[in-house]
Amino acid sequence: MERRVVITGLGVASPIGIGLEDFRTALKEGRSGIRFDQNLADLQFSCQVSGTPPIVPEKLTQYFTDLELRNFSSTGIMYGVIAGLDAWKDAGLSPSQDENPDWESGTVFGTGTSGIEKFRESIYKIDALQTRKLGSTAVSQTMNSGISAYLGGKLGLGNQVTTNSSACTTGTESLLMAFERIKSGKAKRMLAGSTSDSGPYIWAGFDAIKVCNFKSNEEPEKASRPMSASAAGFVPGSGAGAFVVEDLESALARKAKIYCEILGGNLNSGGQRGGGSMTAPNSGAVQKCVKDALSDAGIRAEDIDYISGHLTATSKDSTEIQNLAEALNRYGKDFPYINSLKALTGHCLSASGSIEAVAAVLQLAENFVAPNINCEDLNPEITAVIDPECIPQQLITKEINIAAKVSFGFGDVNGCIIFKKYSQ
């Protein structure tokens, strides 16, 4: 029998806040976390601003042992462990204290890369004939599954423990993979999420292909401009978002708070055909992904109250809005409310889907639509399709029953997940 699946815990480490309280406040206020990045300036990047989680070293001791922190430099694992452990705690759960692991709990926690700073450090030591000085954590910090391995060990998870990777769709994909595992009865609860490293060695390639905004280095908070006529590329960001995804029966039995129910969703690829490429979406595949997500969730297009967009502040923003409108057959004032968290955080790459989904779930659970910033000059190609009122620039208090999160990534991959306010 297929099980109902709910979200009972949230965690986040983002440029606008570490932990739900700070994150929620910044989200409602429309407070940007994008700052001038001296490191990027010193390295002569064109884009010299970034969205980096404001983590102080003292905070790390709450999540890592002194031994783990010795020679530790994987920011992605740091962010993921903070978000993951916070989500577990938020769900009212504790790490397994038994010699046996928790067979009913697992994790799917994604990333694009792992420990690129550690890779750099290791390469220099190897080239200097100092291989023996790499340290005992070089492998665990640099293997892609490092994040799920760290979380699995800290929590004592005995079910599936794995790391997924699908570019900017990674976070949405991890949620759907966890959802399917619980729905099929293979686990009672899963820690889902995704993370992304910080720094120039992650962001340089994007700067090189000129998709980052280099026109707002002196005004960092205005640099990320999704849906704006003056959008000039995305701002690089990083962080992690995490969810405890749980069998409804299990959540009710332990009297857990329930943020929302996951109704379903869909993942697909445009195959880099039909106008799709390594860096551009196949519009037909995007529309099919959304339509198939609605079908999987058992809802109609008109049921959607709010969409958390991918919307990167590039020329593809208007294409995304057009694709969503066509998939839903909703135009003008009939289009749902939509916003883009990237105006506040920048583009957090493999972490973007999960951080933005945390924001989406909060808005659904607490009945508000966060403001879009930096789009006072809305792109006319967008307003020709949907009404400007669907793109709120002030905080809106509104009952939200069903929300959709969409993500699109390099490689022409797409994801859409549907959340619903929980009711018995």
Residue 190 structure tokens: 């899963």
Which ranges in 91-169 belong to alpha helices (H)? 116-127, 138-142, 146-155
Give me the mean pLDDT over the 103-123 stretch: 86
pLDDT digits (tens, 9 = 90+) for 250-260: 999 999 999 99
CATH 3.30.310.50 given to domain 5-260: no
Give me the mean pLDDT over the 109-137 stretch: 77
Radius of gyration (C-alpha) of the chain in whole angstroms: 20
Fold match, 5-260 / 265-420: yes
3-state secondary structure 348-414: CHHHHHHHHHHHHHHHHHHCEECCCCCCCCECHHHHCCECHHHCCCCCEECCCCEEEEEEEECCCEE
pLDDT digits (tens, 9 = 90+) for 355-383: 999 999 999 999 999 999 999 999 999 99
pLDDT at 206 exceeding the cut of 70 = yes
Dist CA 292 CA 354 (whole Å):
21
CATH 1.20.1070.10 given to domain 265-420: no
Predicted confidence band of residue 126 (pLDDT cuts 50, 70, 90): confident
Percentage of the residues of the chain whose pLDDT score is greater than 70: 98
Maximum separation of any 2 CA atoms in the chain, in Å = 65
| Residue-level pLDDT at 165 | 97
pLDDT at 319 exceeding the cut of 90 = yes
Orientation angle between helical segments 352-366 and 20-29, nearest 10 degrees: 80
Give me the mean pLDDT over the 314-341 stretch: 97
DSSP H or E stretch at residue 113: none
pLDDT at 351 exceeding the cut of 90 = yes
| Residue-level pLDDT at 143 | 84
Helix (H, G, I), strand (E, B) or coil at 48: coil
pLDDT digits (tens, 9 = 90+) for 289-317: 999 999 999 999 999 999 999 999 999 99
> How many whole angstroms from its chain centre is CA 379?
25
Q: What is the mean pLDDT of the chain?
A: 95
Q: What is the DSSP string of 65-109?
A: -HHHHTT---HHHHHHHHHHHHHHHHTT-----SSS-BTTEEEEE
| Residue-level pLDDT at 19 | 97
| Residue-level pLDDT at 44 | 97
pLDDT at 2 exceeding the cut of 90 = no
Dist CA 81 CA 85 (whole Å):
6
Dist CA 194 CA 173 (whole Å):
9
One-letter amino acid at 95 equals P
Q: Is 100 exposed, middle or buried (0-12, 13-18, 19+ CB in 10 A)?
A: exposed
User: Do strands 260-269 and 189-196 pair parallel, antiparallel, or not at all (unpaired)?
Assistant: unpaired
Give me the mean pLDDT over the 96-101 stretch: 90
Dist CA 409 CA 416 (whole Å):
12
The domain spans of the chain are 5-260, 265-420
- List the beta bridge partners of residue 262: 5, 419
Dist CA 25 CA 211 (whole Å):
30
Percentage of the residues of the chain whose pLDDT score is greater than 90: 87
pLDDT digits (tens, 9 = 90+) for 218-273: 999 999 999 999 999 999 999 999 999 999 999 999 999 999 999 999 999 999 99
The residue that leads in pLDDT, 59 or 407, is 407
| Residue-level pLDDT at 132 | 73
Q: What is the dihedral of CA 365, 166, 239, 379, to 10 degrees?
A: -70
